[in-house]
């Protein structure tokens, strides 16, 4: 029995040390130290020993059990340490690998120009107003002295949202004149930038959606001279002091008198070229003195007050500002194009 115990001790400790995996080690524990293991099997034979031998073998058996238990624990620790090492190695971060720089966007050319224009007007004491793109025909037309039956209200030009033509996508930012005058008392100095919609085919200079900046000034003693002075000032602020402008008579139902404003072509200095289509001039906005009917419709006393209004096409400013030749590029959202500005 002594030999058997010594043999188990040698064999088991050796087996433990050979085992490199936690699951294998558990199998070894069961094999040598388990209830049906080899050590237990030997102890079961204690009954066959003599009275003198029994305590001696009992002590030896205990020693062997203690030796096995401690060898097992030692190996367990080694295996755990090795596993931790392996994991740490696997999960190492190489902090010297260059990172991926997040791509930062920037302002769209439309926003760049819009912000520049806003800055100029804010500097002149204007407020910025915003209003709905889905508009009542009443505001878009009727109250702007464009009654039912007027050719400007044709279905062929306007995106109506109702059979009865009462609701539409605004065709101009001018309804903002009404919305502001309704809610405010003069003096009024406001601009209202935003999207407008017309049933236009897409080409290099047209889009069914485009942007306007409406402007409105109402105060005592406002004249055409204020209109000219203000708009000249704005155009010079945007395009340089030397920029020449031209005020041409025009017609809008809601201003009287009305005009269109051209600026001398930056590309040819007025001689006529491709950019200005040979004209020497580029149209930038429509304007005029607010029609007394429009003022009165908003409860403004025309004996005391007068005003001027204007509407600027923003896309045209952007094309000019960045020498872009096709308006479609502005709306296609191709980053290869947009990232140039
Ligand atoms: N709303 C006009 C247009 O879209 C422009 C305009 C605005 C003209 C204000 C006069 C006064 O053409």
Return the residue whose CA atom lies nearest to atom 5 of ligand 1. 311
- pLDDT tens digits, one per residue of 8-56: 888 888 888 888 888 888 888 888 888 888 888 888 888 888 888 888 8
Task: State the number of CA atoms in the 13 A half-sphere of 143 facing the CB.
Answer: 21
Decide whether any atom of ligand 1 lies within 6 Å of the 194 Cβ: no
Is the pLDDT confidence value at 274 over 80? no
CA 326 to ligand 1 centroid distance, Å: 23
- pLDDT tens digits, one per residue of 142-165: 999 999 999 999 988 999 999 998
CA–CA separation, 111 and 193 (whole Å): 11
Residues contacting residue 24 through CB under 8 Å, at least 6 positions apart: none
pLDDT for position 200: 92
Decide whether any atom of ligand 1 lies within 6 Å of the 309 Cβ: yes
- pLDDT tens digits, one per residue of 179-225: 999 999 999 999 999 999 999 999 888 899 999 999 999 999 999 99
CA–CA separation, 19 and 232 (whole Å): 92
Q: Which atom of ligand 1 is nearest to 171's Cα?
A: 4
Return the residue whose CA atom lies nearest to atom 12 of ligand 1. 286
Decide whether any atom of ligand 1 lies within 6 Å of the 252 Cβ: yes
How many Å from the N-terminal Cα to the C-terminal Cα in the chain? 93
CA–CA separation, 105 and 339 (whole Å): 8
Q: Which atom of ligand 1 is nearest to 212's Cα?
A: 4
Q: Which atom of ligand 1 is nearest to 286's Cα?
A: 8
Decide whether any atom of ligand 1 lies within 6 Å of the 255 Cβ: yes
Q: Which atom of ligand 1 is nearest to 216's Cα?
A: 9
CA–CA separation, 1 and 192 (whole Å): 105
CA 267 to ligand 1 centroid distance, Å: 26
Task: State the number of CA atoms in the 13 A half-sphere of 330 facing the CB.
Answer: 28
């Amino acid at each position: 029995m002594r030999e058997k115990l010594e043999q188990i001790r040698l064999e088991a400790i050796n087996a433990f040390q050979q085992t490199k995996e936690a699951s294998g080690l558990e199998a070894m524990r069961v094999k040598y130290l388990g209830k049906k293991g080899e050590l237990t099997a030997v102890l079961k034979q204690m009954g066959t020993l003599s009275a003198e031998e029994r305590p001696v073998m009992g002590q030896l058996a205990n020693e062997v059990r203690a030796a096995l238990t401690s060898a097992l624990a030692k190996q367990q620790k080694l295996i755990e340490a090795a596993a931790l090492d392996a994991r740490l190695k696997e999960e190492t971060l190489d902090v010297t690998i260059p990172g991926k720089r997040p791509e930062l966007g920037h302002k769209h050319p439309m926003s760049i120009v819009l912000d520049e224009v806003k800055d100029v007007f804010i500097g002149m004491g204007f407020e910025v107003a915003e209003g709905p793109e889905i508009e009542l025909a009443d505001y878009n037309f009727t109250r702007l002295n464009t009654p039912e039956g007027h050719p400007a209200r044709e279905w062929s030009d306007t995106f109506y949202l109702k059979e009865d033509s009462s609701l539409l996508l605004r065709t101009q930012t001018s309804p903002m004149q009404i919305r502001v005058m309704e809610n405010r008392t003069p003096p009024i100095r406001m601009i209202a930038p935003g999207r407008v919609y017309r049933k236009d085919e897409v080409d290099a200079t047209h889009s069914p959606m485009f942007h306007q900046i409406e402007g409105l000034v109402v105060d005592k003693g406002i004249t055409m001279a204020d209109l000219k002075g203000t708009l000249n000032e704005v155009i010079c602020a945007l395009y340089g002091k030397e920029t020449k402008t031209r005020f041409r008579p025009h017609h809008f139902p809601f201003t009287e008198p009305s005009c269109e404003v051209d600026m001398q072509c930056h590309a040819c200095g007025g001689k006529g070229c491709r950019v200005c289509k040979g004209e020497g001039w580029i149209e930038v906005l429509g304007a005029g003195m607010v029609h007394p009917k429009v003022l009165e419709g908003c409860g403004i006393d025309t004996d005391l007050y007068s005003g001027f209004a204007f509407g600027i096409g923003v896309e045209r400013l952007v094309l000019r500002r960045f020498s872009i030749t096709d308006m479609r590029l502005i709306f296609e959202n191709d980053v290869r194009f947009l990232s140039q500005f």
